[in-house]
Amino acid sequence: MSDEQIETGEPIVITDPDSDRYHTFGYISWWQQEVVRDATALVVGAGALGNEVLKNLALMGIGNLLIADFDTIEDSNLSRSVLFREGDRGERKVDVAARRGKELNPDVKVKAWHGDINFEMGLGVFRHVDAIVGCLDNREARLSINRFAYSVNRPWVDGAIQELMGIVRLFWPWQGACYECTLTDADYQMINLRYSCPLLARDNILQGKVPTTPTSASIVAAFQTQEALKLIHGMEVEPGKAMLINGLTNDVYKTEYPVKEGCMSHSTLEPIVELPQVTAVTTTLAELLTIAQEKLGPEAVIEFDGEIITHMTCPDCGASESVFKKMARLYESEYRCPHCNGRREMSLTHRISGDEDFLDKTLAQMDIPPLGIVRANNGREKIYLELTGDRETFLTFS
Ligand SMILES: [Zn+2]
Ligand SMILES: [Zn+2]
């Protein structure tokens, strides 16, 4: 690097290489180790890309790492996962990744979160981190992250790999195209096909494996980590553009996606009201409705984005059961009556006005995730209530 490329800024403090593991970063003019140390990154997916991103962030001395994944380790992961060992078979990926990340750098604080990000991680989580890195292997999960990030107006970094090819891209709501803008009709068809049957969806995601290599994973994850590092430093990034890497031909090029008119991701929740006393497990529907009415008047109601099943009734044998579960996460087999195998009818709700006979249910019992965000509406004005009391469920690091 020539002298001209070094920007003048803060004076460079050179530390003792014997005692400071970050010594070499001190020579980088813009690098602020204390900013990196104070930052929290959410890494979604602890597979091939996730392993590499976590490794890099740990080496750089990121302060807090929230690692999210639902999977367990199998031997076939070992060829691309620098943090996993042969003896880890059957363990949860997040637990092992967190442990090994800390082993790499004990300065790093970690939180391992094992679960389904679509239904079990509240939207608020995305507001309370400094960088969101998607290390995913399927469109459905990318679309979910994209919509979550858009909802709370936060940028996110996506990476994708196949054989020796890779894509790195950063999306920032209202700045250029988003991930959903890039989806074709064929992509939607595949996603809808999977959504139409949740059981099938899980099977397809697990079976539709894309061949990847440790080299493409480390190349793409390295660029993803650098984008996260820029976000953390507040440096310039290029939202809506992609970097494409072809390891067969060694072509590397950038492309800019067009913004899609009417893209369904393009909405941001505003205003979001933080409720530090409210948690999914301790707050009831009645209590949340009271808060909504205090803020928006007596006509305020609570609204959910998707339908929640309250009861399932069998028309054949008459058996009825209370359910309280999001319809979108019901498995095909659960539609069937456990007594006579008939197809059950569902009572649904997406709106709580105060007349319901289940107002004593907690938000968790209504299938609202911790740190979730729920809409309150009085017909003229909408506000978004965050279950901020759940912060520690996701954001307590050790
Ligand atoms: Zn879009
Ligand atoms: Zn029945």
**Span 120-167, pLDDT tens digits:** 999 999 999 999 999 999 898 999 999 999 999 999 999 999 999 999
Ligand nearest to the CA of 316: 2
Range of the domain at 370: 272-395
Strand, helix or coil for residue 387: coil
Instruction: Quote the ligand 1 centre to 226 CA distance (angstroms).
Output: 23
Q: Does pLDDT of 11 surpass 90? A: no
Mean pLDDT of 210-238: 97
Together in a domain, 303 and 250: no
CATH number at residue 249: 3.40.50.720
Together in a domain, 276 and 231: no
Instruction: Quote the ligand 1 centre to 211 CA distance (angstroms).
Output: 28
Instruction: Quote the ligand 2 centre to 320 CA distance (angstroms).
Output: 8
Task: Give me the pLDDT at residue 14, please.
Answer: 79
Instruction: Quote the ligand 1 centre to 256 CA distance (angstroms).
Output: 13
Q: Which amino acid is at 166?
A: G
Is this complex scored with an ipTM above 0.85?
yes
Instruction: Quote the ligand 2 centre to 335 CA distance (angstroms).
Output: 11
Q: Considering the domain boundaries, does residue 62 fall inside one? A: yes
Task: Provide the b/e sequence for 84-104 (b: ≥16 CB within 10 Å).
Answer: beeebeeebbbbbbbebbbeb
Instruction: Quote the ligand 1 centre to 295 CA distance (angstroms).
Output: 32
Instruction: Quote the ligand 1 centre to 2 CA distance (angstroms).
Output: 39
Instruction: Quote the ligand 2 centre to 346 CA distance (angstroms).
Output: 13
Instruction: Quote the ligand 2 centre to 336 CA distance (angstroms).
Output: 8
Instruction: Quote the ligand 2 centre to 187 CA distance (angstroms).
Output: 38
Task: Give me the pLDDT at residue 6, please.
Answer: 54
Together in a domain, 137 and 250: yes
How many domains is the chain built from?
Answer: 2
And the tokens for 349? 């709700």
Together in a domain, 68 and 193: yes
Q: Considering the domain boundaries, does residue 26 fall inside one? A: no
Task: Give me the pLDDT at residue 20, please.
Answer: 93
Together in a domain, 68 and 44: yes
DSSP 235-295: ----TTEEEEEETTTTEEEEEEPPPPTT-TT-----SEEE-TT--TTT-BHHHHHHHHHHH
Report whether 349 contacts 103 (CB < 8 A): no
Q: Considering the domain boundaries, does residue 12 fall inside one? A: no
Strand, helix or coil for residue 229: helix
Report whether 390 contacts 370 (CB < 8 A): yes
Residue, of 236 and 19, whose pLDDT is higher: 236
